[in-house]
Amino acid sequence: MLEKTFNPKSVEPRLYAKWEASGAFAPKDDPGAQPYSIVIPPPNVTGSLHIGHALNNTLQDVLVRFQRMRGRAALWLPGTDHAGIATQMMVERQLAESGNMGRRDLGREAFVERVWEWKAKSGGTIVRQLRRLGASCDWSRERFTLDEGLSAAVRKVFVTLYKQGLIYRDKRLVNWQPELQTAVSDLEVVNLEVTGQMWRFRYPISGEPDRFIVVATTRPETMLGDTAVAVHPADERYKDLVGKQVRLPLVGRLIPIIADDYADPEKGTGAVKITPAHDFNDFRVGQRHGLEAINVFTPDARLNENAPEKYRGLDRFVARKKIVEDLEALGLFEGVDANRMTVPYDEKSKLVVIEPYLTDQWWVDAKTLAQPAIRAVEEGKTVFEPKSWERTYFDWMRNIEPWCVSRQLWWGHRIPAWYGPDGAIFVEETEAAALAAARAHYGRSETLTQDEDVLDTWFSSGLWPFSTLGWPEQTRDLERFYPTWDLVTSFDIIFFWVARMMMLGIHFMGEVPFRRVVINALIRDEQGQKMSKTKGNVVDPLDLIDEYGADALRFTMAAMSGQARDIRLSRERIEGYRNFGTKLWNAARFCQMNSCERVEGFDPATVRHVQNRWIRGELLKTSRAVTAALEAAACDEAAGALFRFVWNVFCDWHLELAKPLLVGDPAVAAETRATTAWVLDQILRLLHPIMPFMTEELWEKTAEAGPPRDSMLITAPWPDPPDSYADAAAEAEMTLVIAAIREGRSVRAELNVPPSARPPLIVTEAGERQRRILTQNAEAIRQMLRVEGLRFDGEASGAVPYVAEGASFALPVADFIDLAAERARLTKEVAALASDIDRTAKKLANPDFVARAPEEVVEENRERLSGAQEAKARLDAALERLGAVS
RNA sequence: GGGCGGCUAGCUCAGCUGGUCAGAGCGCCUGGUUUACACCCAGGAGGCCGGGGGUUCGAACCCCUCGCCGCCCACCA
């Protein structure tokens, strides 16, 4: 006997171990099976499972379990990302907390060693947590972005792109994170709006005493690096000054006044100081005018030796204050205003102001790589789901900037570039190859030094769909599983990750990395706030699993996955889906108590009783709906269809109405038992991708009676009931019965009495009166039910037993059909059809329309007209007949 | 500045191409507990579908406009 409720705590670990041990997670090795593959968005190895992971991985697991059951060789490839900055910072922090030497004292090699130690000890957290969620990843193929195979892929890609001229070294402005002292990409910068100040200063015109040009700036400290002042060429105020020079205050350097469109007469004073080394716009102006770029900052954003001595070593913000004071003292201060402006911050901490900084970095020519990636989506080789995200993708790809891929960190893939004594660059996959290249270049052996930098984390994750499958080796996995089928990810990494995978995948594999990108939403708390540790509103999915079970959490994730952007998570909702699980559990318990056991060789096609034919058809509909939904990656629709079928159809109606059948005619009872067991079996299959644990458990328990099972549920075949299971007559009749019970007051009252006191519902032959009513009004009823073209035959149909004499819910037809309401409805519909006919006829009568509209549109309208006319004729007749019903 | 979402019952949201579309779950109210399930059952109250205009025989759904709310992108001194 089943327990009263499902106990996830004891069942989940047991079943997961059983699945894993059985090898069910690995794709089956059947060459005839069509492959299906998903690569996991690799979570940071430092991370732990948050609710977003729960959503994202639930969706992947649903898809992969679905495809596995459909007989495909389904692979879900797991792994983790080394997460350069995050991991390095974390280990550094731990070193500091435990009073150890800092990173720099430790030295590069020893530090990296420490990070690996940490990874070995604690890096498995998130992977263990994924198991608790039920993720059916093939752990035998687990990868890590820094493992040997992936590192080889990274080196090969870097070297190849370099040799193709798509990676290059360049000195230009980058986003500099002064605290970590590394470059970061545009995407790692977040612009926040703040109220700052805009100062106005007088720059004295050279050779014209007492004449000034007033410039406006929000960053006075960078003035020490000014190399020009720009005004708009058409700005009358300054026309005569163009070509003259100003004496840069505090520095004494002479700098030119130039005319450039960049200067906006409306902004500030119309005259803008140009500091090419510290501002992206100014850098461009500088390039146009051949200006020198003078860097006045050190890597940790203090003033350097290019600044006048009194400012050297000062922090940028301290220097700012001092410079304003000094200019004021010189009488060059004109004024200051509060100013709303955006300031670039470090995307992670949101505390450190990012500095445009002039350094040598490695760049990827993203513009070139983006072109085929844009085309691939345009041509539908990769589709986004929902499609609206394609626009986001296009917008970014079409305006893509060079990608800075070098990072001044230690944890990551070291750049495979070596420098000769004279600075010549040798980019090769190994040091040996670099030495050989150097020998060829110099004509003798030279000592080389390797580039100190590592690559952006996203460089290696950009290769993930093929590097994890074994590339650059031509492996069988690569052949079978690339391109992958689905990528499931959240929209916040479309740029970071999806776009890079598209570019690199197409470039190196010649094919898109995935056929479909399924974008899932972001989860917020119940107030709609983004979850964050600092706000303390983080919901730990593991707590939820402890409390409600993994299946409940998974069902919740699936059911809410339809929301495009934001999901607000509430415990009530999870509780509701936990209750749903309990409901199913108890339905199974009911089946067990009533000996609804699977029957060897049972064929649903042969059932005769109307209710069994009906539930068979309902199961068919549900099965079709769930299959279609999962094919479309619409997990919410699949979950909804299953919820409604299990609760509102199977439990509320089938099981309730089965009760009298089970104690009645033995033949009907036996058929109902077998049918019920069969339906439950199909439910377990259909529900398994979303609720794997409970369904597998029930699969096991229901194996105790009846024929033995061929396999665990995880590898059981997906239901594919034939269309012939549909039975329109049974459906029509059951609709009547259900309507009767729902609408009939007296019946409702009967059903309300306690089950023990409830008289058994007797199934007998229909009385003469009921038979006559049904037969006479069959046509009208058919119309009322909108069941067109059905063989509704009161006499032959199974409806008869349900309107049997003595049955507690047997009612004359006229009692449960509100004739007046039906007449009104039909009348309304006839009117609608009439107007449709009218409009279409008018349209077709218009010679202009017939002459100019496309042929198929005209044809469509003709069909519509005749269809409407026929329908109207039918309804008119029905109305007429209805008038005769009493 | 550009772009994208959202605004439907007290709450969270469904409503897929305009015609049973005014719904679900939770919450609330009423009634029900001796064998499937109180993590339940039966019933009920509650919404000018953000405002205004338009198209249409018909609009939560299409168009225009306004108003909030949220997100993404952007180099404005």
A83-123 pLDDT tens trace: 888 888 888 888 888 777 778 888 899 889 989 988 888 88
Segment A475-488 shows an average pLDDT of 95
Specify the nucleotide whose C1' lies closest to residue A215 (CA): B77
Question: Residue A739's beta-bridge partner residues?
Answer: none
By DSSP bridging, strand A35-39 and strand A254-259 are unpaired
Segment A402-420 shows an average pLDDT of 93
Using pLDDT thresholds of 50, 70 and 90, give the confidence band for residue A827: low
Segment A329-340 shows an average pLDDT of 86
CB atoms within 10 A of CB A266: 6
Specify the nucleotide whose C1' lies closest to residue A644 (CA): B24
Say which DSSP state A859 is in.
H
For residue A346, the model assigns a pLDDT of: 87
Answer for A233: CB within 7 Å of strand B. Answer: no
Say which DSSP state A44 is in.
B
For residue A686, the model assigns a pLDDT of: 97
Query: What is the spatial distance, in angstroms and rounded to an integer, between the CA atom of A816 and the C1' atom of B29?
Result: 28
By DSSP bridging, strand A454-455 and strand A514-520 are unpaired
A680: buried, middle or exposed (CB in 10 Å: 19+, 13-18, 0-12)? buried
Q: Which residue is nearest to nucleotide B19 (CA to C1')?
A: A832
Which residues have CB under 8 Å from A327's CB, separation 6+?
Answer: A201, A220, A249, A250, A333
Specify the nucleotide whose C1' lies closest to residue A199 (CA): B77
User: Which amino acid does the sequence have at A238?
Assistant: Y
Query: What is the spatial distance, in angstroms and rounded to an integer, between the CA atom of A264 and the C1' atom of B38?
Result: 72
Determine which of A210-224, A266-280, A635-649, A846-860 has the lowest per-residue pLDDT on average: A846-860
Specify the nucleotide whose C1' lies closest to residue A196 (CA): B77
Residues 808-847 of A, Cβ under 7 A from nucleic strand B: 825, 832, 835-836, 839
Q: Is A159's pLDDT higher than 50?
A: yes
For residue A773, the model assigns a pLDDT of: 40
Q: Is A75's pLDDT higher than 70?
A: yes
- 3-class secondary structure, A562: coil
- Which of A790 and A257 is assigned the larger pLDDT? A257
Residues 656-695 of A, Cβ under 7 A from nucleic strand B: 656
Say which DSSP state A310 is in.
G
Segment A556-566 shows an average pLDDT of 82
Using pLDDT thresholds of 50, 70 and 90, give the confidence band for residue A527: low
Which tens digit of pLDDT belongs to each residue from A659-677? Answer: 878 887 888 889 999 999 9
Answer for A42: CB within 7 Å of strand B. Answer: no
Answer for A710: CB within 7 Å of strand B. Answer: no
Segment A643-656 shows an average pLDDT of 91
Q: At what angle do helices A692-701 and A571-593 cross, to 10 degrees?
A: 10
What DSSP letter does each residue of A425-482 carry, written as one string? EEE-SSHHHHHHHHHHHHSS----EE---EE-HHHHHTTHHHHTTTTTS--HHHHHH-
CB A127 within 8 A of CB A80: yes
Q: Is A743's pLDDT higher than 80?
A: no
Residues 623-652 of A, Cβ under 7 A from nucleic strand B: 640, 647, 651-652
For residue A678, the model assigns a pLDDT of: 97
- 3-state SS string for A218-271: CCHHHHHHCCEEEECCCCHHHHHHCCCEEECCCCCCEEEEEECCCCCCCCCCCE
User: Which amino acid does the sequence have at A685?
Assistant: R
Specify the nucleotide whose C1' lies closest to residue A267 (CA): B77
Specify the nucleotide whose C1' lies closest to residue A831 (CA): B57
Residues 378-417 of A, Cβ under 7 A from nucleic strand B: 388, 391-392, 395-396, 399
Say which DSSP state A141 is in.
G
Query: What is the spatial distance, in angstroms and rounded to an integer, between the CA atom of A586 and the C1' atom of B54?
Result: 54
Q: Output the six-digit token pair for A700.
A: 């096991």
Segment A772-788 shows an average pLDDT of 38
Answer for A424: CB within 7 Å of strand B. Answer: no
How far apart CA A535 and CA A538 sit, in angstroms, is 8
Query: What is the spatial distance, in angstroms and rounded to an integer, between the CA atom of A469 and the C1' atom of B49?
Result: 50
Query: What is the spatial distance, in angstroms and rounded to an integer, between the CA atom of A386 and the C1' atom of B50?
Result: 26
Q: Is A357's pLDDT higher than 80?
A: yes
Place of tokens 């029957």: A599
Q: Which uninterrupted H or E stretch holds A820?
A: helix A819-845
Q: Output the six-digit token pair for A40.
A: 């996991």
- CA-derived radius of gyration, chain A: 37
For residue A135, the model assigns a pLDDT of: 96
Answer for A579: CB within 7 Å of strand B. Answer: yes
For residue A808, the model assigns a pLDDT of: 27
Specify the nucleotide whose C1' lies closest to residue A653 (CA): B41
Query: What is the spatial distance, in angstroms and rounded to an integer, between the CA atom of A575 and the C1' atom of B9?
Result: 21
Query: What is the spatial distance, in angstroms and rounded to an integer, between the CA atom of A477 and the C1' atom of B14?
Result: 41
Answer for A239: CB within 7 Å of strand B. Answer: no
Question: Residue A363's beta-bridge partner residues?
Answer: A168, A404
Say which DSSP state A105 is in.
H
CB A347 within 8 A of CB A191: no
- 3-class secondary structure, A176: strand
Query: What is the spatial distance, in angstroms and rounded to an integer, between the CA atom of A167 and the C1' atom of B41?
Result: 69
Answer for A704: CB within 7 Å of strand B. Answer: no
For residue A810, the model assigns a pLDDT of: 31
- 3-class secondary structure, A835: helix
Q: Output the six-digit token pair for A87.
A: 């991991």
Segment A513-519 shows an average pLDDT of 94
Specify the nucleotide whose C1' lies closest to residue A187 (CA): B73
What DSSP letter does each residue of A381-423 carry, written as one string? SSEEESTTHHHHHHHHHHT---EE-EES-SSSPBP-EEE-TT-
Using pLDDT thresholds of 50, 70 and 90, give the confidence band for residue A242: confident
The alpha carbon dihedral of A836, A838, A843, A845 has a sign of positive
- Per cent of chain A over pLDDT 70 is 82
Query: What is the spatial distance, in angstroms and rounded to an integer, between the CA atom of A578 and the C1' atom of B44?
Result: 26
For residue A788, the model assigns a pLDDT of: 26
Backbone phi and psi for residue A594, each to the nearest 5 degrees, phi listed first:
-105, 20
Backbone phi and psi for residue A578, each to the nearest 5 degrees, phi listed first:
-65, -40
CB atoms within 10 A of CB A803: 25
Say which DSSP state A559 is in.
H
How far apart CA A676 and CA A657 sit, in angstroms, is 11
Q: Which residue is nearest to nucleotide B16 (CA to C1')?
A: A637
A1: buried, middle or exposed (CB in 10 Å: 19+, 13-18, 0-12)? exposed
Using pLDDT thresholds of 50, 70 and 90, give the confidence band for residue A793: very low
Answer for A261: CB within 7 Å of strand B. Answer: no
CB atoms within 10 A of CB A230: 29
Q: How many CA atoms lie within 13 A of A323 on its CB side?
A: 29
Specify the nucleotide whose C1' lies closest to residue A839 (CA): B57
For residue A858, the model assigns a pLDDT of: 62
CB A189 within 8 A of CB A344: yes
Report how far apart, in Å, the C-alpha atoms of A349 and of each of A45, A190, A213, A534, A654 are: 19, 10, 39, 11, 57
Specify the nucleotide whose C1' lies closest to residue A388 (CA): B4
Using pLDDT thresholds of 50, 70 and 90, give the confidence band for residue A500: very high
Q: How many CA atoms lie within 13 A of A421 on its CB side?
A: 7
Segment A755-771 shows an average pLDDT of 33
Answer for A621: CB within 7 Å of strand B. Answer: no
Specify the nucleotide whose C1' lies closest to residue A279 (CA): B75
Place of tokens 């992969």: A64
Query: What is the spatial distance, in angstroms and rounded to an integer, between the CA atom of A500 and the C1' atom of B7?
Result: 35
How far apart CA A465 and CA A118 sit, in angstroms, is 26
Answer for A598: CB within 7 Å of strand B. Answer: no
Specify the nucleotide whose C1' lies closest to residue A749 (CA): B42
Q: Which of A2, A144, A133 lies closest to A56 in space, CA to CA?
A: A133
Backbone phi and psi for residue A79, each to the nearest 5 degrees, phi listed first:
170, 180
- How many helices (H) and strands (E) would you count in chain A? 32, 25
Q: Is A300's pLDDT higher than 70?
A: yes
For residue A240, the model assigns a pLDDT of: 86
Query: What is the spatial distance, in angstroms and rounded to an integer, between the CA atom of A638 and the C1' atom of B16?
Result: 14
Q: Output the six-digit token pair for A634.
A: 């619409």
For residue A1, the model assigns a pLDDT of: 74
Give me chain A's average pLDDT, please: 83
Q: Is A410's pLDDT higher than 60?
A: yes
What DSSP letter does each residue of A687-740 carry, written as one string? HTTTSHHHHHHHHHHGGGSSSPPSS-GGGSPPP---GGG--HHHHHHHHHHHHH
Place of tokens 């789901």: A385
Segment A539-546 shows an average pLDDT of 89
- Per cent of chain A over pLDDT 90 is 48
Specify the nucleotide whose C1' lies closest to residue A637 (CA): B14
Q: Output the six-digit token pair for A290.
A: 């051949």
- 3-class secondary structure, A191: strand
**Rounded-to-10 torsion of CA A619, A620, A626, A632:** -170
For residue A347, the model assigns a pLDDT of: 83
Segment A328-347 shows an average pLDDT of 86
Is the complex ipTM more than 0.85? yes
CB atoms within 10 A of CB A240: 9
Specify the nucleotide whose C1' lies closest to residue A494 (CA): B72
Which residues have CB under 8 Å from A737's CB, separation 6+?
Answer: A657, A799, A802, A809
Q: Is A294's pLDDT higher than 60?
A: yes
Backbone phi and psi for residue A542, each to the nearest 5 degrees, phi listed first:
-70, -35
How far apart CA A768 and CA A797 sit, in angstroms, is 15
Answer for A735: CB within 7 Å of strand B. Answer: no
Which tens digit of pLDDT belongs to each residue from A695-704? Answer: 999 999 999 9
For residue A587, the model assigns a pLDDT of: 95
How far apart CA A753 and CA A739 sit, in angstroms, is 19
Determine which of A42-46, A651-655, A695-699, A748-752 has the lowest per-residue pLDDT on average: A748-752
Residues 184-203 of A, Cβ under 7 A from nucleic strand B: 186-187, 190-191, 193, 198
Q: Which of A806, A713, A722, A720 lies closest to A763 in space, CA to CA?
A: A806
For residue A511, the model assigns a pLDDT of: 95
pTM of the model: 0.83
Specify the nucleotide whose C1' lies closest to residue A652 (CA): B41
Q: Which residue is nearest to nucleotide B32 (CA to C1')?
A: A752
Q: Is A841's pLDDT higher than 50?
A: yes
- 3-state SS string for A318-336: HHHHHHHHHHHHCCCEEEE
Cis bond before residue A722 (omega within 30° of 0)? no
Query: What is the spatial distance, in angstroms and rounded to an integer, between the CA atom of A53 and the C1' atom of B21?
Result: 35
Query: What is the spatial distance, in angstroms and rounded to an integer, between the CA atom of A417 and the C1' atom of B16?
Result: 54
Instruction: Give strand B nucleotides closer than 7 A to any protein Cβ.
Output: 3-6, 11-15, 19-20, 25-27, 31-43, 56-57, 70-77
Q: At what angle do helices A8-22 and A692-701 cross, to 10 degrees?
A: 80
